Chains A and B, each alone.
Chain A
Amino acid sequence: MNLRLFILAGLFALGGIAITARVAYVQIARTEHYRNEASNEHFGQQEIRAPRGAILDRNGYPLATTVDAYDVWINREDWQDDEAARKAADFIGPIIGRDPSALISTVRQEEEGLYLAFGGLDFEKGTGLHDADAPGLRVVLTTKRSYPEGDLASTLLGFVGRDHVGLTGIERDFDRELGGIPGTIYFERDSIGNRLQLGSERVGQKPKPGGDIRLTIDRYIQRLVEGELETQLAQTGALGGTIIVMDPKTGAVLGMASQPGFKMSQLDLNKPVDQALFRNRAVTDMYEPGSVFKTLTASIALDLGLLTPESVYNDEGAEYIGPSTIRNWDFSTNGPVTVTQILQRSLNTGAVWMSRQIGPADFYGYVRKFGIGQATGVGLDGEPDGLVRDENDPNWSEVDLATNAFGQGIAATPLQMTTAIASFANGGKLMRPYIVESMNTPEGPRSFSPVVVRQVVSEQTAASVADMMNQVVEGSPGHLAAIKGYHVAGKTGTTTDATLADGAVKGGNVASFIGFAPADDPKMIVLIKLDFREDRLGGQVSAPVFAHLAPSILAYLGVQPDGPQLVTHP
């Protein structure tokens, strides 16, 4: 009997302990969980979008900014009644610029729920709608991107989607910094989840606005290069092209335009054909640089002490590599010529001769030091490494070295070529190109300084090559890149049999020019690359573009010309 009683009491005691433990577990250990569950039952939560940061040019002019706006939604169910629908549509239609009858029929075609009648309505107009009492109308505060400079730098800046996430360009590459951190608002809701009109609400977490990004791009220079590129495409019938303007001393990109591209004002995300226009071809697309590359070959030979600008090569009009014959672009035979003249006359045979002096190991070693075959690290998405097949590749042959010496069979992006040639304008130092000057990150402000990647060639070699490039322009009478009042250094390049227009055109032609000025103290380097279906020479079509752009850019940068153009005020 006592034993049974004892067992029963024990069972009760165990039960009591178990219940107490459970209560303690629920009330103490799981407090937060159940409190949240109860809170979720009574309160709904809504994300508050953080205002997106602005994208500014280097002087602080906004290229993209954010303004408040309203999305106008219509509840389909509230518009089943003809009279209510007509009354609301007559009120809403003119404000959002839609025909009331068409609006009613469109809303009724919706299967269920809310219909977005207008996205990003101006704040002032939206406020009028917000305060109105129209059946079925829901007006939600949002933000929209505004572009004060219109279509300027569209491809570079990119755009955001409906959810305000960056989809292309700077908007995507720096989405984290621009986007900010969304906040949360809690509101009291009824049993089916609808917000109580007179219920309480509280801000859980305030949204943290996105930071502004200041670019190195100058809106004036950007407008100049975009306008010039459009003009060239219209006048010459070029299929596309790229113009880059950079400060050779720092690597700061001052202007960058490429075509084909898109215009913000004509953006249509529903057209699949437009997708190919979104990429920034100055950074993403590779091309064979052609004769521009001869400057690199010459600099390697000079830096190794193998040649001087005055070293003589006897041009017999052809160079033979096994069964292959390499001739000059104009099939000319020039006899004894100096290294400077090789560049002036752009002799393929001379470049082959120089590459033979250098040898493959040193040639490719220097090519990589110039940054060809590796991404520049400019910070923009989609940048390829480039294509360099060196002597370690099983498919490499001596012909590769010969053709690479004059820029064929090797591929680089326009930005890589600009950066490499800029080293001659910067005492042989290769700079890392950059396009973002400063930005406000969630961790705090951050600014970018010029970065010297490496000393590629000696200061003396760089000066010699710059001088030879100056001779290319000023030593050739009637050179179309020459400008009055400034000494220019530059080199043309022409590539034949190129694949262009995203593969649609085979056997095309790339005509390019890279030049910097003033040659003795360069303040800007400009690359011009134009793509043609038919044969065109860089010296004929791209060099004049430089001559047209450079005076305006130099004057804008405050670089005074030499000589009689300058009138000094007493």
Chain B
Amino acid sequence: MNQFSTATSTSYDINELNRLRAARQAENHELEAEVASLSSLARVDLEARLRLGLVPAERLLYVDVNQPLPAKQTLPTRFLPPEANEVPALQEPLWKRLLHVLPFF
């Protein structure tokens, strides 16, 4: 009886946790979409015009600045392109590396 009760309770907990996980995943997707919306060009343009009072440039002046570029705007990780060195190269097992020491390998 006790075991049955524990099993039922655990099953309920698992279902609850699954539901919670799904909710958090959904929230995560919502937040990703919100981050994307907040960094949309239309919003940036609107903020620049209305809040900061900026206007489109009438004359372009190109300035060659000897400084590094500013950091790129952060995107949700899911949308970021993979970094070239993100995935570490698979290391060969020790015995294979030892084989390479031999002159004929």
Contacts and interface: CB of A to CB of B under 8 A. Distances in A.
Interface of A: 51, 54, 56, 59-62, 65-68, 122-124, 127, 141, 146, 148-150, 152, 212, 214, 219-220, 223, 485, 551, 555, 560-561, 565-569
7 closest A-B pairs (Cβ-Cβ)?
Answer: A148-B36, A68-B26, A568-B64, A148-B37, A146-B33, A60-B79, A62-B36
A152 B42 contact: yes
Given A567-B61, A568-B64, A220 B26 contact: no
B75 A61 contact: yes
A212 B36 CA distance: 15
Contacts of B22: 141
Contact of A124 (B30, B37, B81): B30
25 contacts: A56-B79, A62-B36, A66-B29, A67-B26, A67-B29, A67-B30, A68-B29, A122-B30, A123-B27, A124-B30, A146-B37, A148-B33, A148-B40, A149-B40, A152-B40, A220-B41, A551-B60, A555-B60, A565-B60, A565-B62, A566-B62, A567-B62, A568-B63, A569-B66, A569-B67
A461 B22 CA distance: 61
Interface string B11-42: 00000000000110111011011001101111
A551 B33 CA distance: 32
A220 B30 CA distance: 24
A219 B81 contact: no
Interface residues of B, number: 28
Contacts, number: 85
Chain A interface main SS type: mixed
Nearest to B82: A445
Contacts of B81: 59-60, 214
B80 to A, nearest CB: 5
B30 A61 contact: no
Given A60-B75, A61-B36, A146-B33, A569 B64 contact: yes
A212 B62 contact: no
B105 to A, nearest CB: 32
B71 interface: no
Given A123-B30, A150-B42, A219-B41, A560 B79 contact: no
